[in-house]
């Protein structure tokens, strides 16, 4: 994994929202932007509305449970939200990651930005228990 700080998308987010920006990595050419969870709505809106970026399609939204991860410090947040975004017109993609703690296991819903996030967030809620603030219909879809 290499440093992605010099990538133009990472630089744009860092410049526009430095308070929410944590860092960026590249893995096999794929960019991951690491942000504070409080910035998901403003950064998501920028990624969608900036004509140069035009991320109009959430490919996938998932989460990772790092409960037993080796090397994870006790004060590091347990969960990581992962947003895979794609621009149909620009033909590029980005991954946005935000940590969520076990104690405050919630993050803002991105359904106001991407309607297609609705069922993806509901699946994460159902499987991992992460709540999505202001989700239009946050209820289970897979498990009873």
Report yes or no on 138 lying in a domain: no
> What pLDDT does 75 receive?
65
Share of the chain above pLDDT 70, in %: 97
Residue 67 is part of a domain; what is its CATH number? 3.30.460.80
Report yes or no on 107 lying in a domain: yes
Report yes or no on 144 lying in a domain: no
Q: 95 and 83 in contact (C-beta within 8 Å)?
A: yes
Tell me the per-residue pLDDT of 94-134, one tens digit each, with 9 for 90 and over: 999 999 999 999 999 999 999 999 999 999 999 999 999 99
Tell me the per-residue pLDDT of 30-79, one tens digit each, with 9 for 90 and over: 999 999 999 999 999 999 999 999 999 999 999 999 887 776 666 678 99
> What pLDDT does 144 receive?
79
Report yes or no on 140 lying in a domain: no
Report yes or no on 113 lying in a domain: yes
> What pLDDT does 109 receive?
99
SS3 helix, strand, coil % of the chain, rounded to 5? 25, 35, 45
Report yes or no on 125 lying in a domain: yes
Report yes or no on 108 lying in a domain: yes
Tally of domains in the chain: 1
By residue range, what is the domain housing residue 65?
2-133
Contacts of 97 (CB under 8 A, 6+ apart): 32, 33, 34, 35, 80, 81, 82, 83
Report yes or no on 142 lying in a domain: no
């Amino acid at each position: 994994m290499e440093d992605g700080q010099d990538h133009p998308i990472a630089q744009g987010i860092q410049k526009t929202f430095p308070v929410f920006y944590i860092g960026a990595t590249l893995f096999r050419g794929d960019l991951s932007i690491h942000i504070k969870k409080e910035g998901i709505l403003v950064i998501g809106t920028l990624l969608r509305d900036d004509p140069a970026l035009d991320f109009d399609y959430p490919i996938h939204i998932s989460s990772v449970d790092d409960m037993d991860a080796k090397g994870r410090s006790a004060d590091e947040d347990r969960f990581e939200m992962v947003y895979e975004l794609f621009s149909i017109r620009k033909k590029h993609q980005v991954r946005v990651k935000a940590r969520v703690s076990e104690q405050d296991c919630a993050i803002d819903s991105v359904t106001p930005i991407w309607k297609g996030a609705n069922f993806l967030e509901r699946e994460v809620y159902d499987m991992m228990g992460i709540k999505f603030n202001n989700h239009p219909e946050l209820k289970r879809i897979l498990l009873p």
